[in-house]
Structure 1
Amino acid sequence: MNGTKEIKVSTTDPESGYMIRDGKPEGFFYLDHRTVDLKYNLITDVHVTPGNVHDSVPYLSRLDRQRERFGFKVEAVALDSGYLTTPICRGLQQRKIFAVIAHRRFHPKQGLFAKWKFTYDAESNTYICPEKHQLTYRTTDRKGYRQYASDPEHCKTCPMLAQCTHSQNHRKVLTRHVWEDSKDWVRNNRLSRDGKQLYRKRKETIERSFADAKELHGFRYCRLRGLSNVTEQALMTAAVQNMKKMAIHLDRLEKRG
């Protein structure tokens, strides 16, 4: 049947998922979605999924679980670019959590203007092109993306047409999600002084936590097959790492006293 998506299933571990990511090996894997606190670098949550589950899918539900179960008063989070989605940005803003998420680079077609060259005017709900012409609102699709289109009569005589669109009808179309304001809020956080300081700490916490798990605790490979077995390995690894962190912290407190 045309349009159906092929889902690869492992013959030896059907609960794993086939992962394809830039710069990563391709194959059947599991993913450990873990949360680490900023102050002591303790692992506060471990959640294992098949390798074909995107990082952003379980994020908000796992965040809420920690807040409800442990009473965490989460004030700020720092995430990599895989979490830069409109639902996550919207969810964090609604929860009043200061969010810093790495920028994801989108490359336009070679020779065409990047989207940031077009300025959004919230008051008129239009985009302004580099030549100061408006792209007016047309419709909103089922996924929540508003469409803005230029006037072909202006565009066909524009000196920048070749750098703007390859459309045969000389019409430039841009999209903007209905929650795009939340994404703009996250971008502004990332560029702020506090945001830059917070994101720098991310390399010292979550990245270090994963590196230690792989290099010191054999977490580069699954010891057993199946989601429950891999989850058990992930939880045991996190427990050992936390015990080491606690021991180090308590030793420092004793020496200070």
Structure 2
Amino acid sequence: MNEEKEIKVSKTDPDSGYMIRDGKPEGFFYLDHRTVDMKYNLITDVYVTPGNVHDSVPYLSRLDRQQKRFEFKVEAVALDSGYLTTPICRGLQSRKIFAVIAHRRFHPKQGLFPKWKFTFDAERNLYVCPASHELNYRTTDRKGYRQYASDPEQCKNCPLLGQCTQSQNHRKVVTRHVWEDSKEWVRNNRLSTPGKKLYRKRKETIERSFADAKELHGFRYCRLRGLPNVREQALMTAAVQNMKKMAIHLDRLEKRG
């Protein structure tokens, strides 16, 4: 029997989406997905969605739109952990864009080994557990995840079994996406010297842009209901912010001259 997922709909603004996030208020909201350039902190794209649309969903299509419309030559991007998905990592690598994405912390069940304790051997296409036993490839599911399984006969007498799995058949299964190499490429970028320097800029650009919109331009709340009205408010707010940035930059150029 398949259980249908409950989707909450606002009675006063059906276009909004019910958002549940750690550290954020729960309720009906809209999300402003915006892109900011690193050099001048200008907003180059604004896209509004209901609050239940994940940040990663519209990202690649909005990036492609900017490149096509404005002929941007995007060399690098810095994103928060909400964008650390396999399709985005793969998409950025295939577009030859240097990507830095914040680390997302996954918390395994208390007392069990985290996934990084299992070492992947690319040449032999298998994982090696902390007890040096091999988890061999078994199958690939429809979502593109390869499954690597241990030998229960080896595991049931292993002294580390209680820290490895709670399965009744004593078999440990580790999954790896077919595009996992792209995710590892992003991780290596984040740990590199250029990657660390690039990610530090994120606080000075996109975070500052959102803070400015909320604190100085009343963008903490929607003035009108409905997606078209919220989109208009987001675009107008971004336009005003960009005008200020341009005026400041032109003033600096004039003073230098």
Residue number in structure 2 paired with 1:226: 226
Residue number in structure 2 paired with 1:126: 126
Q: Distance in 1 between matches of 2:159 and 2:13?
A: 58
Give the deviation of 1:157 after TM superposition. 1.3
Q: Does 1:15 align with 2:20?
A: no
Residue number in structure 1 paired with 2:248: 248
SS of the residue aligned with 2:77?
strand
Q: Does 1:38 align with 2:41?
A: no
SS of the residue aligned with 2:157?
coil
Give the deviation of 1:56 after TM superposition. 0.3
Q: Distance in 2 between matches of 1:193 and 1:167?
A: 42
SS of the residue aligned with 1:199?
helix
Give the deviation of 1:44 after TM superposition. 0.2
Q: Deviations over 1:158-206 (max 9, x none)?
A: 1111111111111100000010000000000000000000001000000
Residue number in structure 1 paired with 2:180: 180
Structure 2 unmatched runs, 5+: none
Residue number in structure 1 paired with 2:209: 209
Calculate percent identity across the aligned residue pairs: 88
SS of the residue aligned with 1:139?
strand
Structure 1 unmatched runs, 5+: none
For residue 154 of structure 1, what is the amino acid of its counterpart?
A: Q
Residue number in structure 1 paired with 2:143: 143
Q: Distance in 1 between matches of 2:115 and 2:130?
A: 10
Q: Distance in 2 between matches of 1:214 and 1:162?
A: 49
For residue 175 of structure 1, what is the amino acid of its counterpart?
A: T
For residue 206 of structure 1, what is the amino acid of its counterpart?
A: I
Q: Distance in 2 between matches of 1:49 and 1:169?
A: 45
Q: Distance in 2 between matches of 1:134 and 1:250?
A: 63
Give the deviation of 1:2 after TM superposition. 4.5
For residue 157 of structure 1, what is the amino acid of its counterpart?
A: N
Residue number in structure 2 paired with 1:95: 95
Q: Distance in 1 between matches of 2:167 and 2:5?
A: 29
For residue 20 of structure 2, what is the amino acid of its counterpart?
A: I
Q: Distance in 2 between matches of 1:168 and 1:16?
A: 44
Structural RMSD (CA): 0.8
SS of the residue aligned with 1:223?
coil
Runs of 4+ in 1 over 3 A off after TM superposition: none
